[in-house]
Chains A and B, each alone.
Chain A
Amino acid sequence: MSEPAHHTPFPSAGNISDAEREDLRRHGILISSLEELYGWGRSNSIWPLQFGLACCAIEMIAAATARFDIARFGAEIFRPSPRQADLMIVSGTVTKKMAPQVVRLWNQMPEPKYCIAMGACAISGGPFKQGYNVLKGIDRFIPVDIYIPGCPPRPEALLHGLTQLQDKIRAERISGPQAARHLQPDAASEFPVPDFGAHDLQPPSNPNLFTAPVLPRKA
C-alpha cells in the first residue's frame, strides 16, 4: 500500500487506479473502501472544543461567523465539553498557570482527537516568549497535528489549517503498521499533567513528546 500523493484528496483504494474509478463513476457506479468512507465521514464532522485562551480566540469566533463560516467544512459545532469534542484549537498564549488545565482538557477528550496550535503563542510563546510565565509552545505537553502561524492568524488561515487537518484525517489508515494513532493499542492517549511548581512547571516538558532543538555551534 503506497502513501497517497499530496494532490489526491482520497487515498487510492487498493488495486483500482484513480482513472478506473473515474471511469466507473461516469457510469454511475461509486466504489469506495471502508477506510475511505471512515476518513471521509470523520473529516467532515470535526467538532472543535469551545475553548479560547487569548486574542486568537476572537479570530476563531470570527471564523465561525457568517463571513468565514466554518460550517462549510462541517466544523461549526463548538462543544463546551471536552467529552464531546474531537479537535482542540489551542487559540492563544498558554501560561504556566493554564498549561496543566490544557493538558487535563486534552486528556479528557475521547479518541480520536486532534490538536491545532493556532497562533505564534501556542506554537512557541510568540511575542511573549521572553515572559517568565509563558509556556514556550503547547507541543511540549500534547501532540500537535497542525501549526497555524500568525499573530493572530486570519480566520482564513484557520480554515486552511482545518482543511489541512481534514486531508490528514482522510489519509489515515484503519489497519496495518501505518494505522492512525488512536487505533494503535500502545499509542499514548493521555499525557502526564504538569504541576505548577515553585519556579517552573514540573516537568518543564514531556520528554516523550518534545526534545529541545540542538543549535549547531561553530567551534
Chain B
Amino acid sequence: MHDEFHGDLLEVSMGPQHPSTHGVFRMVVTLDGEQIVKLKPVFGYLHRNHEKIAESTSYLGSMPYTDRLDYLCSMSTNWAYALAVEKLSGQAVPDRAQYLRIIMAELTRLVNHSCLVGFLFNDLGTSFTPLLYAFREREKILDLFESLSGSRMMCNYQRFGGCRVDPSPEWLAAARTLVEGFPRFLDEYETMLTGNEIMLARTQGVGRLDPAHAVNAGITGPVLRASGVGYDLRKVDGYGFYPRFDFRVPLGEHGDTYDRYMMRILEMRESVKILQQAFRDLPAGPVMDPKAKLRGFRPKAGEAYGRLEGPKGELGFYLISDGSPNPWRYRVRPPSLINLTLLEEMCLGHTIADAVVILGSIDIVLGEVDR
C-alpha cells in the first residue's frame, strides 16, 4: 500500500521546431504534472562550422561571417573580431573610428534589447503586439545601418584599424534625431509593459539565479547583472573609448525574470546617454588608420583574445596566428551559449510555461549558440 500518489513522469521534447524556442533549439523536459523535474538542452541544429571555415579563410574574409554569428547585433560582433585582430597585430585605431564604433555598438544594443523585450512578451502570451512596437524602432535603426553600410542586418562595417566608411553629416543628424526620440519610445513601451499585472505575476520570483552560482558558471551580461553582480566589460576592461563616457551600470536585486527584463530597459536608457555623449564629442579625422593593411594581411605569430560587452554578455574572439594569411586557431566565446548553461537550474520547480519565459529572458541567438 502506498500512502502517497506516485504519478508517471512525462518527457516532453520541445523543439527544434517550436514557436518559443527562438530558433532551432530543443529542450527535453521531464515533467511531474506541469512541474519541471529535469531539463536537458539539446543544441547543434544550427552548427554551421563558423570556426572551421574561419580557419581556412583570410582574416578579412571572416568578417562577413561574424555578421552571421549573432544576426541581431552584427555591428558589435564585427567590433569584437576587429578588436581581437587589432590586439594580435598591434594595430592602432583613429579617434573618430573609436567613437563611431561606440555609436554603432550602442545602436545595436538598442535594437537587440528592444527586440528581446518584444520576444519575451511574445513568450508571455501577448502575441506580437510589443514586438510590433520594437520592430518599428528597429526599422529606423536598420535604415541608418543600411544607408551607411549597404545592408540592413549584415553590416560588415568594422575593419582592422577603423571603420569602412565615414558617415555623412546628414547621417549623423538623422542618427541624432533618432536617439533624441528614443526615450519617448521607451516611456511608451514601459507604460504598456512594466506595470502590467499579468507580467508581474508571471515574472517576479520566476527563474531565480543565485549570484555565486552565476559567477561560477561564467554567466555574463544583463543576466549576470540582474543577479546583482556588477560586472560590465565596458567598465572592467575599458576597451575602446568607454572610460571617457559617463554612464551607470544598472544592477538587479533578485536575479529573477523581472529583473532581467528591467536590466534591458535600464541599459537602453544608459545607451541613449552614451550615444548623446558620443554625438556631442565625435571628433573629425580619418576613420581608417592609413597604415592599416587589409589585403594580404599576415600578423606575426602569436595569440590574442579580444572581448567586449556585447548586448548578450561577454563576446570574445580568441585567435592564434602562425604567421600565415589565415588564423591557425579561431575560437568564439559566445555569451548566448554560456548563459544557457544554467537554464536547468533556473527552470527546476517551475511550470513548463515558465520555462519558455525564462528562456526568453536569457536572450539567446542560435547562430551564436551553435556557431
Contact = CB atoms under 8 A, between A and B. Distances in A.
Contacts of A101: 16-17, 45
Contact of A55 (B18, B19, B47, B367): B367
A97 B153 contact: no
B49 A66 contact: no
Contacts of A98: 16, 24, 45-46
B72 interface: yes
Main secondary structure of the interface of A (DSSP, over half): loop
Contacts of B64: 127
A93 B131 CA distance: 24
A43 to B, nearest CB: 24
Given A66-B135, A67-B135, A152 B47 contact: no
Contacts of B153: 55, 58-59, 152
Interface string B132-153: 1001101100000000000011
Contact of A67 (B24, B52, B65, B136): B136
Given A53-B24, A55-B68, A95 B131 contact: no
Contacts of B65: 127
B279 to A, nearest CB: 25
Nearest to B119: A61
Nearest to B49: A131
B319 interface: no
B71 A58 contact: yes
Interface in B35-88: 44-50, 52-53, 56, 64-65, 68, 71-72
A128 B135 contact: no
Q: Which of A52, A54, A62, A128 has the most CB of B within 10 A?
A: A54
Given A95-B45, A95-B47, A101-B16, A54 B367 contact: yes
Contacts of B72: 58
Contact of A133 (B48, B132, B135): B48
A55 B135 contact: no
Interface residues of B, number: 33
B116 interface: no
Interface in A128-158: 128, 130-134, 151-152, 154
A185 B131 CA distance: 43
A62 B138 CA distance: 9
Contacts of A133: 47-49
A203 interface: no
A80 B19 contact: yes
Contacts of B47: 95, 97, 133
A197 B68 CA distance: 27
A64 B17 CA distance: 19
Nearest to A125: B48
B16 A54 contact: no
B45 A97 contact: yes
Interface in A71-120: 80, 82, 92-93, 95, 97-98, 101, 105
B136 A66 contact: yes
A50 B21 CA distance: 12
A105 B16 CA distance: 11
A57 interface: yes
A51 interface: yes
Interface in B210-260: none
A33 interface: no
Interface string A31-69: 000000000000000000011111101110110111100
Chain B CB count within 10 A is highest, among A55, A58, A67, A127, for A55
A127 B135 contact: no
Contact of B53 (A52, A121, A128, A154): A128
B135 A65 contact: yes
A128 B132 contact: no
A67 B140 CA distance: 10
A151 B367 CA distance: 14
Contacts of A131: 48-49, 52-53
Among B71, B131, B154: residue with most chain A CB under 10 A: B71
A127 B45 contact: no
Output the residue of B23, B45, B366, B367 with the most chain A CB within 10 A. Answer: B45
Given A65-B132, A66-B136, A127-B65, A97 B48 contact: no
Contacts of B152: 59, 154
B96 to A, nearest CB: 29
Contacts of A55: 68, 71, 153-154, 367
Contacts of A93: 46, 48
B28 to A, nearest CB: 14
Contact of B46 (A54, A61, A82): A54
26 contacts: A53-B24, A53-B46, A54-B46, A55-B154, A55-B367, A58-B71, A58-B153, A61-B131, A62-B138, A65-B131, A65-B136, A66-B136, A67-B135, A93-B48, A95-B44, A95-B46, A95-B48, A97-B45, A98-B24, A101-B17, A101-B45, A128-B53, A130-B56, A131-B48, A132-B52, A133-B47
Given A55-B153, A65-B131, A105-B17, 12 more contacts: A53-B24, A54-B23, A54-B46, A57-B23, A62-B139, A65-B132, A67-B136, A82-B17, A98-B24, A101-B17, A131-B48, A133-B49
Interface of A: 50-55, 57-59, 61-62, 64-67, 80, 82, 92-93, 95, 97-98, 101, 105, 121, 127-128, 130-134, 151-152, 154
